[in-house]
Chain A
């Protein structure tokens, strides 16, 4: 087994970028401003696109270039642009989404990463791909995405959390098996696109019915007066 320092520089770059994606996930979790959350999500998409391109370069799998291009267009530009546009229309672009106990949330995210690493160890031992070390990172992205989904109150940041969870799934596919079949990949990309549009319509519906995007208010029944 070769040590880390003996790996080619390109693979080291992939690992470093994977670590940066993990950082962006932590940043998403800790960021309370709506606009900053969307911007970090865009950066995460950009990082994933760069990683996919590097993996495609290293392995010579040409279909990965297409996924990289799709990721770049959809997750780094289109979805963030759409979310920012909707947030501006709703007038919540500069709002804060208060995070419940940021310290504990960050600690929980840290322990999730350790948990994911331990879960992935057996898979990692038998995987042959050059990015097998990044599988743990991708699973951690999924877990942190879920954690963000349950710690947020505003619908728009929850959508960002859901999208970053999907980023984790995409990264898992890339790092474990060098990408999914093209049909699946196109389908997922289309799914994300439609989801973003539908979420946008839902924002307006939620706001029309409860006059806020704070989904905690959905816990109460509208008919009863307190």
Chain B
């Protein structure tokens, strides 16, 4: 009975995360609008967009192959799978023992691979350009992400995300340089991977700079809806990862209704604050030239490397 409830809860929290992903993206956009003296769209606008796109007919290019038609389902599916792997409301999720943090990175890589293939498939120049840029950034961001994972795994002696969160949650007040650097590196990697400022601008279709938009330019109808949902979900997953790995307070360690309710409120509060901070940083920063992005990611990699080294050198006894 108990295992059944845990599995049910794990499914419910994943579904909940998928459901609030457009809302989170919309929240960040709203704060950004306020900061830039613009009138924001309604908070539920992304849901309306998704509904509209799902209702529309799909227009396919003549030379689109089966990969092009399958890619939205694979991209969205892998992202939902990634959402199932991370602890959101309860720490001990059963899936965490099957899929650890390295699998999480792998799931993202699988989705990205098909996204890039779909960009290349129709043969437009924009799609190819976007795919090539996406893969360049991914090749540089992934090592940094893995170093962050390894640092956390060394800290908690396990790469299981539930174990890591439990470890961080149960330690007393302690200043760890390794955690500080891992956090900074993960924020930089998250910004690059989800295509936010200053790496990519999710709001424009400017051919000189776009990365993510260039790849999904040929999509329409429900395919586009799935791609958009996957992008919003990936963005939310990174936010939840940052919130729950480094500030896990409030997450529930039991199945008691009170603790679960507290977990819901705490994750909502954390996402609200994190989104506001992100909007603030996006407003104050200018977009980077594409050729400076490798430097940006080199900083992320150096920080994650320093996190690991300072764990070994300074906290190793």
Contacts and interface: CB of A to CB of B under 8 A. Distances in A.
Contacts, number: 72
7 contacts: A5-B171, A12-B174, A19-B181, A19-B310, A23-B181, A23-B303, A114-B309
B302 A26 contact: yes
Contacts of A110: 302, 305, 309
Interface string A159-177: 0000000000000000000
A136 interface: yes
Interface string B274-317: 00000000000000000000110011001101100110111111
B177 interface: yes
Given A5-B171, A12-B175, A19-B178, 18 more contacts: A4-B176, A4-B314, A4-B315, A4-B317, A5-B172, A9-B173, A13-B175, A15-B177, A15-B314, A16-B177, A18-B177, A20-B177, A22-B309, A23-B303, A106-B302, A133-B314, A133-B316, A136-B313
A103 interface: yes
B15 interface: no
A16 B175 contact: yes
Interface string A138-167: 000000000000000000000000000000
Given A1-B317, A15-B315, A22 B306 contact: yes
A79 to B, nearest CB: 25
Contacts of B181: 19, 23
A137 interface: yes
B313 to A, nearest CB: 5
A117 interface: yes
Contacts of A2: 317
B180 interface: yes
